[in-house]
Structure 1
């Protein structure tokens, strides 16, 4: 799976399990913060299978690792759809993926999903022999603190360090508690309360 397709998949799925079947909707967050460590509990699952022994195998299908053929799931539902491949057919999984991603898009428009918090992170991306390369792409509301992106390209027609379809805001704030300045950036609307990265003091924006 290419970096571009992976970013597209996780962004459009809203970092949530796509499982929705017979009235059951999972919607579990797939990257969780545990004591300041990001824990990934999600799987990138094939719709048309790579395993020839399952009913979702199609010999003529080519792009098995492309975005259109991957659905994001929690580990429990990944196991379920693979164990019950006769039930969870290619058409059902395609419908599941489309329905979930449409739902995420609507919820983002209506601001029903909390902003993604990204802090103290470094994204290093290397792309060769491609039409387009993106170092970091954020297409949902997000709060960024001490985030750096490094993009290295070779034989690439178009290179973009950071891409978003949201409004981008950046401010310089000063913490009255520890007397230290800090920069703050977010994708989407600026929050009314900022958290100082030095001392975790809550600052209400005027």
Structure 2
């Protein structure tokens, strides 16, 4: 008989890819030049050979390659237990195997399942009003560290206005996406380009308002972390939501 694929998979799984004695990894990582290396052996507690270590003549031949008669060892300790079979008796090997598999089980159970990743919004961090943006530098600096954007705009746009407003929103997102890779001169250019678009929007009868919101990312394998999201609105200059005295707009 031979060890079945199912038995082999169960043995390696319960042993956690570790030697039951030294607990070293039994599959070594690949290198730049070579594939992975397997340095573990599926070892028999009772040998099937008449002169083999710990041979038991009363043992049913059908059970020689069974899971109960196997343990996983590195090649050094495989040779050791077979050479020193008077010391490493069948009962001792069964005890070593049981203790090791319990250790593997406890190690895996120590790793709590990661919680689902979710975004937590805090009520007092959500802006009730957005401030009017007066320059490209002001908007660029507000948006540069944000991990996302809530965009809003007036609803009754004609075809030309769709291009103007939509182009501005898209160009701003493109600048923010690459902001961390920009050299100082490129950041100056970005601020000027945004400022030019703000002027174009103003001449077309639109104003831009923005504010940041702090949100929290929770769950997963890492600890919670805060990040900012940009609230951005492009609205007509005569929009009733604009508070002219404060140059603010209420969230729509």
Q: 2: distance between equivalents of 1:29 and 1:103? A: 14
Cα 1:104–1:58 change in 2 (3 A) is same
Q: When the two structures are aligned, how many residues end up with a matched partner?
A: 112
When normalised by structure 1's length, the TM-score is: 0.50
Report deviation, 1:54: 3.8
Distance in 2, matches of 1:10 and 1:32, equals 14
Rounded to whole Å, the distance in 1 between the matches of 2:31 and 2:52 is: 39
Pairwise CA distance, 1:190 = 5.9
**Residue 154 (structure 2) aligns with:** none
Structure 1: runs of 5 or more not aligned: 20-25, 113-175, 177-188, 193-206
| Paired residue secondary structure (2:36) | strand
The reply to whether residue 44 of structure 1 matches residue 5 of structure 2 is: no
Which residue of structure 2 aligns with residue 97 of structure 1? 97
CA RMSD of aligned residues (A): 2.3
| Structure 2: distance between partners of 1:78 and 1:10 | 15
| Alpha-carbon separation, structure 2, partners of 1:76 and 1:190 | 39
Contact in 2 for aligned 1:54/1:85 (Cα 8 Å): no
Q: 2:17 aligns with which of 8, 15, 18?
A: 15
Shift of 1:59: 1.2
**Corresponding residue for 1:87?**
87
Superposed CA offset, 1:52-87 (max 9, x none): 114511112120101111110000000000000111
> Corresponding residue for 1:69?
69
Which structure has the higher relative contact order (CA within 8 Å, separation 6+)?
2
- C-alpha separation in 2, matches of 1:83 and 1:111: 37
Aligned partner of residue 34 in structure 1, secondary structure: coil
In 1: Cα distance, 2:7 partner to 2:220 partner: 28
Paired residue secondary structure (2:29): strand
